[in-house]
Chain A
């Protein structure tokens, strides 16, 4: 049964990809120091939970290219991604953005089974903790964490480790490219346990078809 379900998923995923635009060369082969996007983020844009590579599927194009520009300028920094972004031609960034935005959002394999933690995360994502000045994640990232183009990326299906690392980066000030310091404000109010809980919950979401 499990096998059949898996097979169905694989078929569905393949079908969806075949409808989407063919991946551009920058995704599949890369160009010089700008190595192929897919080598870390996958052809499906699922990223890699263990490697810390985020899912890119369904990122709004404008958000995607802004992140590349921010890696170049230094308001966002990452030892792996910063040099790649600096080597990436603007038209290739656009091509990669257009490709990844068209893909369905996968579920993260990192989603933990701890039901209590997931429930705690769900409460923060859906209701927030306004008494602490903490708005719900979904007030900006849309119900279900599907994201709101052009500025609010989807959260659904993101890997636990990556989400926690970014929340920590905003909290400690190593990532500063959020508009109006919206993420800094939120992250400063989250405890380590809050971060893990909310990351655990959003990792369980995903596999939503792209909607216009």
Chain B
């Protein structure tokens, strides 16, 4: 059974080279990246949103993965611009050292954006760069790539954001820009963000997730999610507790975490866990305590209602989360069943994703 599926993917990929590629993206990417390669998705296909302009044809039922290839590190120019790219890379990879005053936990950017921000399905920077400026429900404003990165510092790094005109921010934005050389703007590239893991057959379960964790994750991340250090530095990041991301980070959402884990964990073995295991272990991971949501005000219920209308365990039990997921799914199915013309999206109530371009899925 496995082989015919692989064959099917290979066939889809091959036909995709002729018919499925987004014209705009292939034209642009050949400027710098001749290595745009169409590959079958090794794990669960990303749910791609059609880019503006209708270049991406729907209705084929197949998800074709055209992966953009960022320039190799050896091509960083040996000049002032290149020095800033390199500083941005260093900030990104060794955030603990290079952005010391801005980080409030034990993480580096590259812990979740693997391969120094290059890896597809690991929120690669080359895919994020061209999606800004964009309106984000989370901030209620149009964010530039800079203010978007500020959000990473506030939540995922549980720290204090560098100013938009700071040396650090300039370097980080420059690194993003350089990695995206030749990528189209305003288009969601395949590999952007994290994969969407279909809801599994059984409701996600913390106890099962705990077993998955023990057998597959504790080796690197420790029995209690505390991460593992060498020479006083985390080599494997802490997944919960005081040195991990806070309750406002995108990774605290169970669906987001499942997508990251499924495609990327353990290193080199992406796709090892099945969908059920990915959901179970994501639920387990995110059922633990972590630094508080910096937006928190009043009661937990108040903060939850204002900021956590999402797939997470902030201020809710696993049972309440599952009920929430079911009701969202039902609402989605209902709205799909109705003809388009009768559905008027309510501003602020519609998920950013359905509006076409909001990339706000990772933090």
Q: Does A32 reach chain B (CB closer than 8 Å)?
A: no
Q: Do A182 and B235 touch (CB < 8 A)?
A: no
Q: Which of B104-145 contact A (CB under 8 A)?
A: 114-116, 118-119
Q: Provided the pairs A130-B114, A130-B115, A180-B216 are in contact, do residues A148 and B235 lie with their beta carbons within 8 angstroms?
A: yes
Contact check, A182 vs B116: say whether CB atoms are below 8 A apart. Answer: no
Contact residues in A for B220 (Cβ distance below 8 Å): 140, 151
User: By the criterion CB–CB under 8 Å, are A211 and B69 in contact?
Assistant: no
- Let me know if B352 is at the binding interface, CB within 8 A: no
- The docked-state distance in angstroms from the alpha carbon of A130 to that of B220 is 19
Q: How far is the CB of A134 from chain B (nearest CB, A)?
A: 7
Q: How distant is the Cα of A194 from the Cα of B230 in the complex, in angstroms?
A: 26
Contact of A140 among B69, B114, B229, B267 (CB under 8 A): B267
Q: How far is the CB of B214 from chain A (nearest CB, A)?
A: 12
- Please give, as numbers and ranges, the residues of chain A lying within 8 Å of B269 by CB-CB distance: 180-182, 185
Q: Mark A92-127, 1 if CB is under 8 A from B, else 0.
A: 000000000000000000000000000000000001
B231 A142 Cβ-Cβ under 8 A: yes
A179 at the interface (CB under 8 A from B): yes
B228 within 8 A of A: yes
> Do A147 and B268 have beta carbons less than 8 Å apart?
no
* Residues of A contacting B268 in the complex (Cβ-Cβ under 8 angstroms): 133-135, 182, 185-186, 189
A140 to B114, CA, bound (A): 13
**In the complex, how many angstroms separate the beta carbon of A80 from the nearest chain B beta carbon?**
28
Given contacts A151-B219, A182-B266, contact A211 B232 (CB under 8 A): yes
Q: Which residue of B lies closest to A140 (CB)?
A: B267
The answer to whether B119 touches A130, judged by C-beta atoms less than 8 angstroms apart, is yes
Residue contact A180 to B232, C-beta cutoff 8 Å? no
- Check A182 against B267 for contact (C-beta < 8 Å): yes
Q: Is A23 an interface residue (CB 8 A)?
A: no
Task: Please tell me if the beta carbons of A127 and B235 are within 8 angstroms of each other in the complex.
Answer: no
Instruction: Annotate A138-169 by CB proximity to B: 1 below 8 A, 0 otherwise.
Output: 01101110111101100000000000000000
Contact A127 B73 (CB under 8 A): yes
Q: Are the CB atoms of A148 and B270 closer together than 8 Å?
A: no
| B219-A147 in contact (CB<8A) | no
For B, the interface residue count at a CB cutoff of 8 angstroms equals 25
Interface residues in B225-254 by Cβ distance below 8 A to A read 228-233, 235-236
A142 to B229, CA, bound (A): 9
- Contact residue among A130, A134, A147, A211 (Cβ-Cβ distance under 8 Å from B118): A130
When distances are taken between beta carbons in the complex, the residues of chain A under 8 Å from B266 are 180, 182
Residue of B with least CB distance to A185: B268
With both chains docked as a complex, state the minimum distance between the C-beta of B67 and any C-beta of chain A, in angstroms. Answer: 8
A52 at the interface (CB under 8 A from B): no
* A146 touches which of B42, B230, B272 (Cβ 8 Å): B230
Q: In the complex, what residues of B have CB within 8 A of residue A147's CB? A: 230
Asked, given contacts A134-B268, A182-B267, whether A142 binds B230 with beta carbons under 8 Å apart, the answer is yes
Complex: A58 Cα to B216 Cα, angstroms: 25
B235 touches which one: A135, A140, A185 (CB < 8 A)? A140
Q: Which residues of the other chain, B, contact A182 by a CB distance below 8 angstroms?
A: 266-269
Most chain B beta-carbon neighbours within 10 Å: one of A139, A146, A149: A139
> Per-residue CB proximity of B248-282 to A under 8 Å, as 1/0?
00000000000000000011111010000000000
CB within 8 Å for A128 and B230 given contacts A135-B267, A140-B267, A181-B269 = no
CA distance A144 to B232 in the complex (A): 13
| Residues from chain B with Cβ under 8 Å of A152 in the complex | 235
Closest residue on chain A to residue B233 by CB atoms = A143
Complex contacts, A143 vs chain B, CB 8 Å: 231, 233, 235
Cβ of A131 within 8 Å of any chain B Cβ, yes or no, is yes
A179 to B216, CA, bound (A): 9
Smallest Cβ distance from B142 to chain A, in angstroms? Answer: 32
Convert A171-192 into 0s and 1s, putting 1 for each residue whose CB lies closer than 8 angstroms to a CB of B.
Answer: 0000000011110011001000
Task: Show the binding face of A for B, using Cβ within 8 Å.
Answer: 127-128, 130-131, 133-135, 139-140, 142-144, 146-149, 151-152, 179-182, 185-186, 189, 211
9 examples of A-B residue contacts, CB within 8 angstroms: A131-B69, A135-B267, A139-B235, A142-B235, A146-B230, A146-B231, A182-B269, A186-B268, A211-B231
Q: A130-B114, A142-B231 are in contact. List 13 more A-B contacts (CB 8 A).
A: A127-B73, A127-B115, A130-B118, A133-B270, A140-B235, A142-B230, A143-B235, A148-B228, A149-B228, A151-B220, A180-B216, A182-B266, A211-B232
Which 7 pairs across A and B sit closest by C-beta, in order of nearness? A130-B115, A135-B267, A142-B230, A148-B230, A135-B268, A185-B268, A148-B235
